[in-house]
A and B are shown apart, each in its own frame.
Chain A
Amino acid sequence: MSSTKPISAVQSVVNELLADLHAKSGCEKIGLTRESFAVILCEVGSKHATASSSETEIRTFFLSLRVDELALARACAAGVNAAWEVFLTKFREKLYLSALRIAREESAARELADTLYADLYGTNTRDGQRVSKLASYTGRGSLEGWLRTVLAQEYVNRYRRTKRLVSLDEESEEGIQFAAPDPEPAAAADQRLGQATDEVLAFLSGEDRMVLSAYYLDGRTLAEIARMLGVHESTISRKLDKLAKSLRKQIVAALVRRGMSRRQAEEAMEVDVRDLQLDIRRSFAQDSSPAAFSEKRVEARVPESEG
């Protein structure tokens, strides 16, 4: 995607704002020259901008960047020792603390932090060039937040995957009851139910669906979800209430639209979705849908035979 348009547009905006941004960044103190900073800004801008970005958009983008942290990160990525001193003073402690919060357990946290540390420092080399994760920081969010996110990513990639597998075994061990599938519902009805639900869900905004997923699939608390979205807990609570009430109604309506009678539709809602589960399970097996094996809270009646 390196068409010339965005780059030149970006370039001109950078030139325009360079003095300003450079002053804000304090990159001289950490050993980054003005020129290299300009190059960095261009790179960041090009990554973000698309062919259709207007100049104002680009300008807003640049003005919203945290240039001082960007400069620090890039200076560190380049191996400037002065920058590293600053970085360590500011973030070393927080890195370990965040790792501890994420991993909750000391040795795992230490390992997590150390690994990230190595990545940040650039102990990996590619083509003889030192590669540091810090080079991928673009200043859109705070450096501290970025560090936490990266830690969390690393943690999820490493530990949660294996944990998820385990939790399924635990589920089986715990003897989740698998009742016999109800023979009544025909496959046709199930399909309509699935379709109707999909239709209704599609009408929901991403945020609504995210809240639903986070609450019912991940089992997160209202407070957590609220913090994730930056709203008050009560907002989430109200939203979930509304959704729960309306979903049922809407699905029934959608089923009716698909030809069921009202009573049929309502019965269909009561149906055990175990048969429906068959398809879902199969599709789970195919893709790496991460929500596959999450919380046991949701009464996943997975027929063992299909497992």
Chain B
Amino acid sequence: MQNVPKIVRERLRAATPAVNHPDADVLTAFAEHSLPELERDVVLEHLARCGDCRDIVALALPAMEPVERAIKPSPRGWLTWPALRWAFVAAGVVVVASVGIMRYQARFQRGTMSASYKAPAPQAETTEAKNQPLTPALVAPPPAEKREKTQAPAAPAFADSMIVNNAVVADKKSVPGVAPPPAVTQQFHGSAYGNVTRRGVAGGTVGGPAVSNQYSANQWQQQNIAQNQAALPTPSSPLAKQQSAAPSANAQAPAAGQGAGVSGAAPVATLAQNTDANLLQYQAAAQPPAAKDIMRAKPALPAPGQIGGHVVDLSGAVVSNARITVIPAKTGGVTNTVTDSQGAWLIAGLPTGNYRVQAEAPGFATTVQDLHYDANQPSMYSFILSPGSVSETVEVSAQAAQVQADTASVDTTFTTNRNISQIPVNGRNVTQLVALAPGGLQTFWSLNPAGGLQRSFDQGKTWQAVKVNGIPALNGARLAVATETVEVTTAQAKTKGLEKSRKKVAAFTFRALAVAGSDVWVGGSGGALYRSSDAGNHWTRVVAVASGTALTDDVVSLEFSDSQHGKFSTSAGEVWKTADAGQTWQKQ
């Protein structure tokens, strides 16, 4: 496109400032082409001079294409190398063939070299994972970055590794490596996952399948074979070396699989160094250290017996701390997990069957998938969450079963962690919860991120939303009529700067919570301040008045040292104190 002379640009810019911006109605009608000719011209004239209004029109355009989906195959994968593509295909074919054989063999040869033989890929990765400390440079750098670069080298290396009979591979993977039990990976796996997939979240991990579906599928199968035995029973039962190796290998393998795509070079390199280390670690089979290794290992597609995926939002950003609930159709054992900081989740040890998987996170609409899960064909079940009202702050206690009845593995290791991670503190220190427990009742109080109040009588296992004087605990849709009108002076708010101009939906969100003895205080937007002396069953509204002015700013933090003395700070930066349980207040 030819450029216009600079002078033109300058004069365009200097065009007389636009006044009389058309209002939203007219702009909308303009954008939707429902303005009569004359009016349209007027608007166009204005738009010719007014960059702001042009911006508005552009911003207000409806979405053309769906918001960038997280699950987008990486455009520049190693498969852009035609040679690699074919290498892949060839490798895939070989793998399929060997898979068939291995599968057959695996059933009869427990813990023999064949296992290691069979799962060259997994081993590659496990070694890689274990080699984390040894070769941080290779493994640690965000796979995402390496994805593009190492694709090429990865391919041949990996392709090799895939070929069972490749001497090179066989060498290096003398022994299944890392012991880390897959169970361990439940949560950590995720993070390994996460590493791979930064942009286009699933890109990395799913980039695997998306880009080379056949390949990864093969890989899974391959691992599956090797792990067939060890899949369900956990690593904690060190059946046979290979067994535990295999699962861990599996755990790693998918990561590796991705890793292959991601940093193929790494595994290969690390392989070289690893043979002995493998043996040693492998025997140790210490779970915690392994976990750490796995944490840094490349994220993996779930191995057989594992189910996992990602949770992302519409823009492709990962959603961490999203709760994943897996409800089997048959048995009553419900599994819960939480996505890690990379938005990934993984659950191992699920038998084949129908499941309902649910992903929820504050601020998003809960998404549910019904799926049939075949333990031999693990797949990714990722979620794209769309923003929505805070749907649940209540955990349905009926599904509180946190211990899986069928497998002994996963949960035992993590029960504590999972409990803690599932308490909806969302960033607050868990120990704060303890501090919140009022005297004898052992009630836990918390505010959900959306500003609703909730309490738990069972140390945080289940929470109930608490209504404060008819103001529902939920934010958003349920805008019940406020019990008092709150004046939010817009002008004032705006001049106070962006920070303070936050006009929360007045009177409906609580931001501060304090417990003193048997009293519970909550404070929130628009000067809302409530106290309950009976564990939240009844609330009284406390109108804080100091030097003649009532409180209208948001309460952002509350502190009560005992039932009489306390203070809170407001969004305006003031601190109000009381020494008589809120009857009178002094501003600091």
Binding site for B on A (CB under 8 A): 60, 64, 84, 88, 92-93, 96-97, 100-102, 104, 106, 109-111, 114-115, 117-119, 121, 123-125, 136-142, 144-146, 148-153, 155-156, 158, 160, 162, 193-194, 197-198, 201, 205-210, 212-218, 220, 224, 227-228, 230, 237, 240-241, 243-245, 247-248, 251, 269, 272-273, 276-277, 279-280, 283-284, 287-292, 294, 298-299
Please pick, from A96, A104, A141, A216, the residue contacting B32 in the complex, using a CB distance under 8 A: A141
Known: A141-B29, A215-B1. 11 other contacts (CB 8 A): A96-B388, A140-B35, A141-B31, A152-B55, A153-B24, A162-B498, A207-B44, A210-B54, A217-B13, A228-B61, A243-B4
CB neighbours (8 Å) of A123 from chain B are 486, 488, 503, 505-507
Find A273's partner among B6, B55, B504 (CB 8 Å cutoff): B6
CB distance from A301 to the nearest CB of B (A): 9
With beta carbons under 8 angstroms apart, the residue of A110, A149, A216, A288 that contacts B17 is: A288
Ranked 9 nearest A-B pairs via Cβ = A141-B28, A206-B44, A209-B48, A152-B59, A206-B45, A291-B51, A96-B387, A290-B52, A287-B17
- Cα A288 to Cα B365 with chains together (Å): 41
Q: Is the CB of B11 within 8 A of A194?
A: yes
A111 to B41, CA, bound (A): 34
Q: How far is the CA of A298 from the CA of B3 in the complex (A)?
A: 10
A259 CB, nearest partner CB in chain B, Å: 17
Q: Are A227 and B61 in contact (CB under 8 A)?
A: yes
CB contacts (< 8 Å) of A110 on chain B: these are: 363, 387
Contact (Cβ within 8 A) A146 B8: no
Chain A CB within 8 A of B396 CB: no
- Nearest Cβ on chain B to A114's Cβ, whole angstroms: 6
Contacts of A241 in B (CB 8 A): 1-2
Q: Are A146 and B388 in contact (CB under 8 A)?
A: no
Give the residues in chain B near A114, CB-CB below 8 Å: 502-505
Chain B, range 471-511, C-beta contacts under 8 Å to A? 476-477, 479, 485-488, 490, 498, 501-507
What are 26 sample pairs from A and B whose C-beta atoms fall under 8 A apart?
A60-B36, A96-B387, A101-B63, A102-B60, A106-B315, A106-B387, A115-B503, A117-B505, A118-B506, A123-B486, A123-B507, A140-B25, A141-B25, A141-B31, A151-B59, A156-B56, A162-B498, A201-B12, A207-B44, A210-B44, A210-B54, A212-B8, A220-B58, A227-B61, A287-B17, A289-B15
Tell me which of B41, B386, B389 contacts A97 (CB under 8 A): B386
Q: Is the CB of B504 within 8 A of A118?
A: yes
Q: Using Cβ atoms and an 8 Å threshold, which residues of chain A touch B15?
A: 201, 209, 213, 289, 291
In the complex, are the beta carbons of B51 and A136 less than 8 A apart? Answer: no
Shortest distance from the beta carbon of B228 to any chain A beta carbon, whole Å: 42
Q: Which one of B10, B61, B363, B505 contacts A224 once the chains associate, using CB atoms below 8 Å? A: B61
A298–B502 touching, CB < 8 Å: no
Q: A240 near B17 (CB under 8 angstroms)?
A: no
- Docked Cα-Cα span, A220 to B34, in Å, equals 23
Q: Are A100 and B59 also in contact (CB < 8 A) when A121-B479, A125-B487, A216-B4 are? A: no
Return B200 CB to nearest CB of chain A, in Å: 16
Which of A97, A115, A276, A283 contacts B502, CB < 8 Å? A115
A230 and B57 alpha carbons, distance in the complex (Å): 12
Among A64, A201, A237, which residue has its beta carbon within 8 angstroms of that of B34?
A64
Partner of A247, one of B5, B35, B488, B498: B5
> Contacts A123-B486, A142-B28 known; A156 to B5 CB distance under 8 Å?
no
Task: Please tell me if the beta carbons of B12 and A206 are within 8 angstroms of each other in the complex.
Answer: no
A280 proximity list for chain B (CB < 8 A): 10, 13-14
Contact A102 B59 (CB under 8 A): yes
B330 in contact (CB, < 8 A): no
Is the beta-carbon distance between A247 and B4 smaller than 8 angstroms?
yes
Alpha-carbon distance A174/B339, docked complex (angstroms): 40
Contact A197 B25 (CB under 8 A): no
Q: Please state if A92 and B389 are interface contacts (CB–CB under 8 Å).
A: yes
Residue pair A145, B31 in contact (C-beta under 8 Å): yes
A205 CB to nearest B CB, Å = 7
Q: CA separation between A93 and B388, bound complex, in Å? A: 6
Contacting residue for B51 out of A106, A205, A208, A213, CB 8 A: A213
Interchain CA distance A244-B9 in the complex, whole Å: 11
A121-B479, A291-B13 as given contacts; A227 in contact with B365, CB under 8 Å: no
Bound: A251/B32 CA distance, A:
35
- Bitwise, B408-445 to A at CB < 8 A (1) or not (0) is 00000000000000000000000000000000000000
**Chain A residues with CB under 8 A of B28:** 140-142, 145-146, 148-149
**Contact between A106 and B313 (Cβ–Cβ < 8 Å)?**
yes
Residue of B60, B315, B389, B502 with most partner-chain A CB within 10 A:
B60
Within 8 Å CB of A207, what residues of B? 41, 44, 48
Measured in the bound complex, the distance between the Cα atoms of B313 and A217 in whole Å is 33
Is B26 at the interface (CB under 8 A from chain A)?
Answer: yes
- Closest Cβ of chain B to A43, distance in Å, is 13
Which of chain B's residues have a CB closer than 8 A to the CB of A100? 67, 314-315, 387
A82 smallest CB distance to B (angstroms): 14
* Chain A residues, Cβ within 8 Å of B47: 206, 210, 213-214
Q: How far is A101 from B58 in the complex, measured between Cα atoms in Å?
A: 11
Give A296 to B165 CA distance when docked, in angstroms: 58
**Of the residues B55, B57, B63, contact of A160 by C-beta under 8 Å:** B55
B17 and A198 contacting across the interface, CB-CB below 8 Å: no
B420 nearest CB across to chain A (Å): 25
- Inter-chain contact A247/B67, CB cutoff 8 Å: no
The listed residue (A151, A237, A290, A298) touching B60 by CB distance below 8 A is: A151
Check if B1 sits within 8 Å of A240, measured CB to CB: yes
Q: How far is the CB of B252 from chain A (nearest CB, A)?
A: 32
Q: How distant is the Cα of A198 from the Cα of B23 in the complex, in angstroms?
A: 28
Report the minimal beta-carbon distance from B68 to chain A, rounded to whole angstroms: 11
Residues of A near B490 (CB, < 8 A) are: 124
Given A125-B485, A290-B51: A269 and B7 within 8 A (CB)? yes
CB-CB < 8 A to B48: which residues of A?
A: 206-210, 212-213
B317 at the interface (CB under 8 A from A): yes
CB contact between A248 and one of B5, B502, B507 (< 8 Å): that residue: B5
Contacts A142-B28, A156-B55: A292 and B13 contacting too (C-beta < 8 A)? yes
Q: A248: which B residues are within 8 A, CB to CB?
A: 4-5
Interface bits B50-90 vs A (CB < 8 Å: 1, else 0): 11101111111111100100000000000000000000000
CA distance A21 to B549 in the complex (A): 49
How far, in angstroms, from A251 to B67 measured CA to CA in the complex?
43
Q: Are B505 and A244 in touch, CB under 8 angstroms?
A: no
Q: Smallest Cβ distance from B43 to chain A, in angstroms?
A: 8
CB-based nearest B residue for A131: B490
Q: Are A218 and B17 in contact (CB under 8 A)?
A: no
**Counting chain A CB atoms within 10 Å of each CB, which of B41, B504, B507 scores highest?**
B504
Taking CB atoms, residues of chain B closer than 8 Å to A217 are 9, 12-13, 51
Pair B7/A276 contact, Cβ less than 8 Å:
yes
Inter-chain contact B10/A118, CB cutoff 8 Å:
no
A118 to B487, CA, bound (A): 12
In the assembled complex, B529 has its CB within 8 A of some CB on chain A = no
- Cβ-defined contact, A237 with B488, below 8 A: no
Chain A contacts for B29, CB-based, 8 A: 140-141
Contact A118 B27, beta carbon cutoff 8 Å: no
Residues of A within 8 A of B507 (CB): 123
Shortest CB-to-CB span from B356 to chain A, Å, is: 22
Q: Within the assembled complex, what's the spacing in Å between the Cα atoms of A151 and B31?
A: 14
- Contact A140/B506 with A209-B48, A251-B5 known, Cβ cut-off 8 Å: no
- The complex places the Cα of A203 from the Cα of B220 at a distance, in Å, of 68
- Would you call B62 and A145 a contact (CB within 8 A)? yes
Contacts A124-B490, A140-B28, A209-B48; is A153 near B56 (CB within 8 Å)? Answer: yes
Distance A146 CA – B29 CA, assembled complex (angstroms): 8
A121–B478 alpha-carbon span in the complex (Å): 11
Q: Assess whether A93 is in contact with B386, with CB atoms less than 8 Å apart.
A: yes
| Interchain CB contact under 8 A, A216 and B41 | no
Q: When chains A and B are docked, how far (Å) is the Cα of A67 from the Cα of B24?
A: 17
Contacts of A299 in B (CB 8 A): 6
Partner of A269, one of B5, B10, B315, B506: B5
